[in-house]
Structure 1
Amino acid sequence: REIALAVALDDPRILPNLSPVGRTGAQGLFDLPYIRRLRADRPDLAHFEPAVLISSVSDGWIKLTVRAWISKIPRKDEIVSRYLKEVLTRLQADEIPVKAEVS
């Protein structure tokens, strides 16, 4: 769980990791008139922190669910693929046996 979360927090394409310009742009989206009517206050980008949840535990394995917001939606598949590859690399570096199943 810690490795999966650390990889998400290290990836510049996963929110809330934004440059100052990107952060201003993201905050600006919430100021659009049709969205402003739906909320009472200006949202904090911390609400977009990645989350790693333990979905189930069985004999010898743990299933994790990762929830993350990405900054470039058209490149979603590439970002997810790189993220998963980095998680697997770090797990192997820590000598944690992995049976990867991506759904």
Structure 2
Amino acid sequence: MEQTALKNLEEKLEQLLKKYQLLQKENKQLKNSLAETQTALAKSQKAYEALQLKLEAGIIAATKTMDEQQQRLLETRIDHYLKEINKCLTLLEA
């Protein structure tokens, strides 16, 4: 009886060790995936910021030669583009 209990305990211990190793492997994969996603997000955010700066510079240059109606139309289009970019960033963060 004692031998059977000891054998059962050893089997359960082996199962736990296997599960632990699998969980460690999965954890490592998840950490790698998270790091890759964070890197991609950081690159996207930098690109977004660079584009936003270019856009602002373009707006300043373009608005100097535009009338009010053209300026409002341009601002509306820019707002639309910024919303689309923000949606893309939100999807990347999810």
Structure with the greater relative contact order (CA < 8 A, sep ≥ 6): 1 or 2? 2
Q: Which category of TM-score, normalised to the shorter sequence, fits these structures?
A: under 0.3
Report the TM-score, using the length of structure 1 for normalisation. 0.24
Larger radius of gyration: 2
Higher helix share: 2
Higher strand share: 1
Report the TM-score, using the length of structure 2 for normalisation. 0.25
